């Protein structure tokens, strides 16, 4: 299964003083996506980057920008992040008053749609929308900060969503984000994840050897 797994390094763990260089290095190291965590200090207790930073990074790589919006209300920012260069826009159902409408807004921008579930968020929040989206992102930490420990209890949720996707024969990426390392990545893959988001492991393990760390996450069985 390893060869089908996509790796989406989270730039939350990158060196922000040389973010452009980090993006180029991730591209050369074989990243499939570039995961961009956008936080507003309101929906989650941290503030990261906005559309202007993404716009500046966009010309540096052709890799898919996998943009995770942890902002509320989310709808009014979708156009800005689309124009800045996002390829996939993922939002939380709790950050909108109308999930179907938010999906339509993202599709109107001709972008792929993702919905994210926090560790305690119910599958019921997204079940009725699976036919209309491209990606489900399962958070395996409480969103807000990088470097947190993986919460193994989300594996059941991952497995259950994978079962629904398979039964409906849907072509949806199943992504997991939060504390993913060389050990627990196998658990995630076995439960059905085909996109792994990882920050600290990619940027810090093996003396920051990005290529080696991306390869290990992809191939570890």
Q: State the catalytic residues.
A: 37, 177
Residue owning tokens 């191939």: 219
Name the nearest CA neighbour of 119 among 139, 136, 137. Answer: 139
Do the beta carbons of residue 26 and residue 208 sit within 8 Å? no
Q: Which whole-number Å values give the CA distances from 182 to 47, 77, 78, in the listed order? A: 28, 35, 34
Largest CA distance in the chain: 46
Give the HSE-up count for residue 173: Cα atoms under 13 Å, Cβ half-sphere. Answer: 26
């Amino acid at each position: 299964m390893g060869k089908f797994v996509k790796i989406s390094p989270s730039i939350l763990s990158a060196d922000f003083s040389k973010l452009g260089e980090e993006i180029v290095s991730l591209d050369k190291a074989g990243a499939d996506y570039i995961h961009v965590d956008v936080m507003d200090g309101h929906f989650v207790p941290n503030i990261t980057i906005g559309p202007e930073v993404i716009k500046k990074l966009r010309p540096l790589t052709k890799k898919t920008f996998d943009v995770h919006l942890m902002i509320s209300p989310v709808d009014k920012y979708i156009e800005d992040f689309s124009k800045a260069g996002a390829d996939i826009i993922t939002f939380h159902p709790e950050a909108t008053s109308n999930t179907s409408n938010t999906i339509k807004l993202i599709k109107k921008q001709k972008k792929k749609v993702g919905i994210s579930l926090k560790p305690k968020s119910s599958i019921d929040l997204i079940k009725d929308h699976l036919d209309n989206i491209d990606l489900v992102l399962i958070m395996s930490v409480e969103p807000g900060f990088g470097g947190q420990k993986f919460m193994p209890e989300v594996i059941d949720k991952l497995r259950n969503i994978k079962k629904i996707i398979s039964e409906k024969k849907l072509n949806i990426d199943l992504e997991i984000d939060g504390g993913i390392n060389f050990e627990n990545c196998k658990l995630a893959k076995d439960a059905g994840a085909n996109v792994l988001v990882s920050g600290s492991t990619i940027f810090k393990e093996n003396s920051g050897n990005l290529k080696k760390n991306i390869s290990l996450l992809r191939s570890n069985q």
